[in-house]
Amino acid sequence: MMRALEPYEVRVVALPASQLDRLVVLSDAAHAAAAHPLVHALAEQLAAGVDAAIRCEPGTDCEHERRRRLAAVALHHVQRYGPDPDPAGTDVLAAPLATIARGRGDCASRAAVVLALDLALGLSAHLVALSRPCEPDDHIAVAVWLDDGWEWQDAMTTLPLGGVLTGIPCPLPTTAFIL
């Protein structure tokens, strides 16, 4: 089992490393980061923008739309980060605070930031590692619960603000770990 990531740590791991081990380390780092003042402040800033934009009719419940928009702005914030491909034969595990500070990351690093923001925003979410036949490497994304089901948050794609779902451009995953 790999040791936990420090708050601002970036660690290069030689492959093959256990996909589940990497997922556990990133998930634990994201859960810890969700309580960090920097992530909490960023989440509050994103939530304030959402709350200012929502217009509810008197007597209606806007929580579902609010949660959907919170998930969308958390995703969109991280989608703006620059790419940071892993060196050949390695996987770079970056703690969410390191990814935020650097403003770039691979799918795993970005997914950990999305997860941390989702959790700080009060959403229920999990990291999901996917093995797909069309990609040579595993892919990590986030599944977020939005009242009527789980929806993907893929920080490596570009969607307009307000989009949460991403189409999977290849056949369904052959294996998936959800943590």
Helices (H), 9-104: 19-34, 37-53, 63-79, 96-102
Domains of the chain are 10-178 (3.10.620.30)
The whole-model pTM stands at 0.84
Give pLDDT, residue 125: 94
Q: How confident is the model at residue 163 (pLDDT cuts 50, 70, 90)?
A: very low
Q: How confident is the model at residue 64 (pLDDT cuts 50, 70, 90)?
A: confident
Q: What is the mean pLDDT of residues 91-104?
A: 91
Q: What is the mean pLDDT of residues 63-79?
A: 91
Give pLDDT, residue 161: 38
Q: Are 26 and 35 in contact (CB under 8 A)?
A: no
State the DSSP code for 36. S
